[in-house]
Amino acid sequence: MGLIQNVLAVIVVLGVLITFHEYGHYWVARRCGVKVLRFSVGFGKPIWSRVDRHGTEFAVAAIPLGGYVKMLDEREAPVPDEQLHETFNRKTVWQRIAIVAAGPLANFLLAIVAYWALFVAGTTTVAPVVGEVAPDSPAARSGLQGGQEIVAVQGNPVRSWDEINLRLIAHIGHSGELELLARDDAASDPSTYRLPVQDYLVRQDPPQPLPTLGITPWQPRFPAVLGQILPGEAAAEAGLEAGDRVLAVNGTPIDEWMDFVSVVRASPGETLELEVERDGERRQLTLAPGSRELETGGAIGYVGAGVEPVEWPEEYRREIRYGPVAAVGQAMSRTGEMTLLTVDAIRKMLVGLISPTNLSGPITIAQLAGDTARTGLESFVSFLAYLSISLAVLNLLPIPVLDGGHLLYYFVEAVRGRPVSERTQAIGLRIGLALVGMLMLMALFFDLMRLW
């Protein structure tokens, strides 16, 4: 079921992103008087198509990993004299720039609309209150303490752990101090804490902004009550059920969920005697945790069970909501921040500050799409917005084959007053295909390595 959900989620995500991107090209092309021959979502043989009154074929193809808008162009096939005014290549350089740029701009617009909807609907998050501070960590050396709420990172206000992580990731490679503002409670004034770092998060895969600083977020106490049991795993085979409360393991009392987790992780392949409470009755069960190998060596126990969720205290909840007008500015600001973060991440990957193993391909995207869809509409829409921004930024890279490569040629043409030669464009096309192909293979390789 999880695999089917992942596949459906990624088809929906890619379908929406590709449709918006290609519609941007299509809409501006039509406004510039260019005849569009085909609007295709997906590659390969069409599985559905229809032709509108303007002669444009709209198609959905079998391979949902891209799309294209095919326009009338003398460079691709002979064009009757009476249609020459509708060809793409006969349009002014600024019209061609507008048509090519419209695809990425449509993706930015989609992200703004998605964030606007989230801000208007309102999002509920938890306050970024510090739970524990690791001894001799950057946070400990700065004087930060458990129970304090972080309200700003490097002078930028934050209201959730997600915002804090985004602010911290933006400083990958930083050496010196990271400045946090934190307060003891809502009535107190915030104090400044300067956390010393050296080559912060450099080449971490994946980056761990908070653990690297020695910060553990606060969370409520979780009783050792099972919330979900995965079929076919050790917990299900032992007869455990959702709602069971673990009282003891091998005669040792269990008070909290993490106590149970610690015992399980330390017991791969062993047999554990459990005492559980079910419907007011105590039962004795035998549990044999499975074993999972660690990349760093060794193994940990695994039983395929999750904890029953608990309600967060009201004082730790934060609702972020804006009116329809105010949400426009917030959505544009969030889109701008995420765009700069994506561009900076690409730059840092090129200079070696971020490991290339962080590249993600279709498998990872499918997993994330499925996970966010299962989490809820809010997470799914947020993921869709970020992926739309990523698609726009990648398409604007000055690599032939991508929109950015075409824009580069057209801007050169605008400066020189004449088009880039066909030979130069052909060479660039081959180089671009090689670069894009290499990136796709690398991303797929890292996807497979994560699965392995």
pLDDT tens by residue, 134-190: 999 999 999 999 999 999 999 999 988 888 998 998 898 889 999 999 999 877 899
**Residue 154 backbone zone (phi > 0: left; psi -120 to 50: alpha; other: beta):** left
Q: Which pLDDT value is given to residue 253?
A: 92
| Confidence band, pLDDT 50/70/90 cuts, at residue 297 | low
Contact present, 133 and 215 (Cβ < 8 Å): yes
- DSSP strand pairing (226-229 vs 245-249): unpaired
* pLDDT grade for 276, boundaries at 50, 70 and 90: very high
The residues annotated as belonging to the active site are 22
Architecture of domain 130-217: Roll (2.30)
- Mean pLDDT highest for which of 33-37, 75-79, 423-427? 33-37
Q: Where in the chain is the domain with CATH 2.30.42.10?
A: 130-217, 226-310
**Confidence (pLDDT) at 375:** 67
E strand spans, 56-104: 57-71
What's the pLDDT band for 71 if we cut at 50, 70, 90?
very high
What would be the CATH architecture of the domain defined by 226-310?
Roll (2.30)
Predicted TM-score (pTM) of this structure:
0.79
Contact 386, 420 (CB under 8 A): no
**pLDDT above 90 as % of the chain:** 49
Render 273-310 in DSSP notation, one character per residue.
Answer: EEEEEETTEEEEEEE--EEEE-TTSSEEEE--EEEPP-
What is the reported pLDDT for 1?
A: 46
CA-to-CA dists, residue 322 to 114, 166, 333, 416, angstroms = 14, 21, 13, 48
123 and 159 Cβ atoms separated by less than 8 Å = no
- In whole angstroms, what is the distance from residue 345 CA to residue 351 CA? 10
Average pLDDT over residues 368-381: 76
Q: Which residues contact 55 (CB under 8 A, 6 or more apart)?
A: 35, 37
- Supply 100's token pair: 């090519």
pLDDT for 294 equals: 60
| Of 108-112, 250-254, 302-306, 360-364, the least confident | 360-364
Grade residue 42 by pLDDT with cuts at 50, 70 and 90: confident
- The total of other beta-carbon atoms located within 10 Å of residue 333's CB is 12
